[in-house]
Structure 1
């Protein structure tokens, strides 16, 4: 797990095209800028530029087997963590921008699932789920819950980089979770008496 402490790295990843490129390389393996352009609906030149920006910060790297414009890129399989409790304001702002972009893309993917789920396999329709909950926790309990959820959500991460370990019939499954305390209520000024 890499702790990102440079706001430039967060901003490099926060671009929607770059996140789609990382996603494509992570899910489907090495590809050239031209192949990625076809998959995500962007120009090859634009994809090439964004790939170089991602490579500059170590999110992706050149894969073997290519030359010139036909060089493939691959995702560097490393988890990234940001958003520590005592981070400087510039890092906090860059992290907020990245979080907003990530969540927008995840919500769009969730909405796409809603649009097409009735045509998907019945087994997958029954397996997919959404859950929402509000509970009363201490900060220590919330941290323990994070540790448990991360362990569950990352249990099968080895399958991302090792296609041979994927069971027959498996598909990529998107999982998103966040937990935050409700803001403290703002006291209301007393009502003026009439």
Structure 2
């Protein structure tokens, strides 16, 4: 697996990923490492046939691949683990619309995860409840400072990316949602 960034620049690949079932499949594969469509169906609450179809669509655009060692329904899949980027300022038309749809779906998935955690967090051991946190702030930054902050956030968020491979996870590690952004709080004005 290539660790270099993949820039999504084509509308079909952006639309392929901007589907709630496909996003859940990718997330489940990152969690498991490899899984069959049947195993994934159990994990995400979809039918095996639906998962198989969506896995083939994800494979068509290079987001997942067959892991080898199985046939038919017992064919294992794995994620193609690479950082993804999209949403450049030079996008327009169909690409911009597909990029915005992917961003909206991604944000919705992350907020759904936060809402889920808020619903069940009190069932976790106290030490896990106390370790969880979020931060919020409004600051005044220059363009260069905003770029620097986002670069630092990406480095922090990616600090444990080697643990996407289940073999690299230490005992007691849990899947943790990390989502951060630093964006302007209002539209640009010359004032």
SS at match of 1:73: strand
Aligned residue for 1:192? none
Q: Deviation of residue 84 (structure 1)? A: 1.4
Q: Deviation of residue 94 (structure 1)? A: 1.0
**2:181 equivalent to 1:157:** no
Q: 106, 114, 119: which is aligned to 1:115? A: 119
Aligned residue for 2:68? 64
Aligned residue for 2:187? 183
Q: Deviation of residue 167 (structure 1)? A: 2.1
Tell me how far apart the structure 2 counterparts of residues 183 and 52 of structure 1 sit (CA, whole Å): 40
Q: 20, 43, 46: which is aligned to 2:47? A: 43
Aligned residue for 2:138? 134
Normalised by the length of structure 1, the TM-score is 0.91
Q: 94, 104, 110: which is aligned to 2:98? A: 94
Normalised by the length of structure 2, the TM-score is 0.92
Structure 1 segments of 4 or more deviating over 6 A? none
Q: Deviations over 1:97-121 (max 9, x none)?
A: 0111111111111111111111102
User: Which consecutive residues of structure 2, in runs of 5 or more, have no partner in the other structure?
Assistant: none
Q: 8, 13, 20: which is aligned to 1:9? A: 13
Task: Compare CA radii of gyration and give the structure with the larger one.
Answer: 1
User: Which consecutive residues of structure 1, in runs of 5 or more, have no partner in the other structure?
Assistant: 186-194
**2:138 equivalent to 1:170:** no
Could you tell which deviates more after superposition, 13-22 or 171-180?
A: 171-180
Q: Deviations over 1:49-95 (max 9, x none)?
A: 10000000000000121012221111111110111122233222111
SS at match of 2:78: strand
Aligned residues between the structures = 185
